[in-house]
Amino acid sequence: MARLFPTPLLLAAFLALFIPPLHAADIPPGTNDAVALVPVEYRHRLVQQLSLADANRQQWLDMLVTAKPDQRAALAFLLANMPERDLKSLTGEFLLKDVALAYEARAKFPWAAAVPEEIFFNDVLPYANLNERRDDWRGDFIQRFGPLVKDCKTAGEAAQALNREIFKQLNVSYHATKRLKPDQSPYESINLHYASCSGLSILLADACRAVGVPARVTGTPLWTDKSGNHTWVEAWDGQWRFMGAAEPGPFNKTWFGDLAAKADDSKPEHRIYAASFRQTHTPFILVWDPQSTDYGAVDVTGYYVHRQNLKIEVRDAANHAAPAKIQVRQDGRLIAQAKGKSASFELAANADYTIGAIVAGGKKIEKGAQIPRDADTSVELRIK
């Protein structure tokens, strides 16, 4: 791919014009060359982030230069989205190793290889979920938990196996008072043997990510009946499904399902949020630090309040079923994907979606769809 900015001089001119409040004079030597190595979509944000890194700036630049070319986009994604605290405290050595291990898991486990890149970047690559202490868990967790999932056929099977086994293996359980704090890191919970629902969810999400299963911490600041907050995990198996950490069982069948179905998206404290490493305009509300807006989230309240089935069929010009990669997006975000001539997903009702199919030859077909509250929906994509 040709570079958008063939010379450092042109890149500096672009940055001075389009990335306020920075000016060309504010860009340290070497920044242009390093930033020009990463995909264009990250360059704007990277320069902004590097301006916040203080003494850490040079080591991030060095990391981008020395990184494996096929992992630079992943590193750029993490740098472009990480909280300021991490820009100033983490090291390039840590991030290079962590990303390399994530790619090793992606190559080792069949379900990991099938994960779409944008889901892989946001929900497998990240080294942390929220504001927990930053632990170097990935290499250890691959060794510990890889054998637990070696015979699993899908990401969903692997996530359920981990939820069933890791808490017994680690001797970690829920306790409201014996845990030291709600936002414990994985090793804080392992060493103490107790955790809150948030600590358990962080531990399970990281275990999933270690073996290439996309996972994200999800929760509500306050149930609508005012009985308290709760945190759990969503895992990707072609679409997002939920489970209670240290509460093994089928997806979407939990003790808190009825409470979640009463969530109220008209009030921020009664919504349900899924954590996102990619920065969003919605903060994940930390009940232990409610003033913090450092951690991104996606409002997923609708999925819990009411779901309906969306069935998608792909047909060619002769009205024959045609194989395709089928995708569903909401507000631009990929929320479901499958390969085949048809697919069915359980999604939030009373919502708008963009349905897409990538067919032979790379041709892409898109169509808008709305799922009503009171009925399942079928959509046909026709190849012309």
User: Rounded to two decimals, what is the model's pTM?
Assistant: 0.91
In this predicted structure, what is the pLDDT of residue 245? 98
Residue 95 domain flag = no
Residue 105 domain flag = no
Residues 36 and 182 in one domain: no
In this predicted structure, what is the pLDDT of residue 361? 84
In this predicted structure, what is the pLDDT of residue 29? 52
The domain boundary, picked from 90, 107, 135, lies at 90
* CATH number of the domain to which 263 belongs: 3.10.620
In this predicted structure, what is the pLDDT of residue 30? 59
Q: Which residues of the chain are under the pLDDT cut of 50?
A: 1-27
In this predicted structure, what is the pLDDT of residue 33? 84
In this predicted structure, what is the pLDDT of residue 2? 32
Residues 322 and 297 in one domain: no
Residue 3 domain flag = no
Residue 132 domain flag = yes
Residue 37 domain flag = yes
Residues 71 and 150 in one domain: no
Residues 78 and 128 in one domain: no
Residue 1 domain flag = no
Residue 54 domain flag = yes
The domain boundary, picked from 305, 326, 346, lies at 305
Domain count of the chain?
Answer: 3
In this predicted structure, what is the pLDDT of residue 123? 98
pLDDT per residue as tens digits for the range 231-280: 999 999 999 999 999 999 999 999 999 999 999 999 999 999 999 999 99
Residues 168 and 143 in one domain: yes
Residues 301 and 320 in one domain: no
* CATH number of the domain to which 339 belongs: 2.60.40.1120
Three-state SS for the chain is CCCCCCCHHHHHHHHHHHCCCCCHHHCCCCHHHHHCCCCHHHHHHHHHHHCCCHHHHHHHHHHHHHCCHHHHHHHHHHHHHCCHHHHHHCCHHHHHHHHHHHHHHHHHCHHHHCCCHHHHHHHCCCCCCCCCCCCCCHHHHHHHHHHHHCCCCCHHHHHHHHHHHHHHHHCCEECCCCCCCCCCCHHHHHHHCEECHHHHHHHHHHHHHHCCCCEEEEEECCCCCCCCCEEEEEEECCEEEEEECCECCCCCCCCCHHHHCCCCCCCHHHCCEEEECCCCCCECCCCCCCCCCCCEEEECHHHHHCEEEEEEEEECCCCCECCEEEEEEECCEEEEEEEECEEEEEEECCEEEEEEEECHHHCEEEEEEEECCCCCEEEEEECC
The domain boundary, picked from 290, 305, 320, lies at 305
Domain around 372: 307-382
Residues 48 and 153 in one domain: no
Residues 311 and 301 in one domain: no
In this predicted structure, what is the pLDDT of residue 9? 36
Residues 267 and 312 in one domain: no
Residue 138 domain flag = yes
Residues 346 and 267 in one domain: no
Residues 137 and 177 in one domain: yes
In this predicted structure, what is the pLDDT of residue 362? 85
Residues 297 and 313 in one domain: no
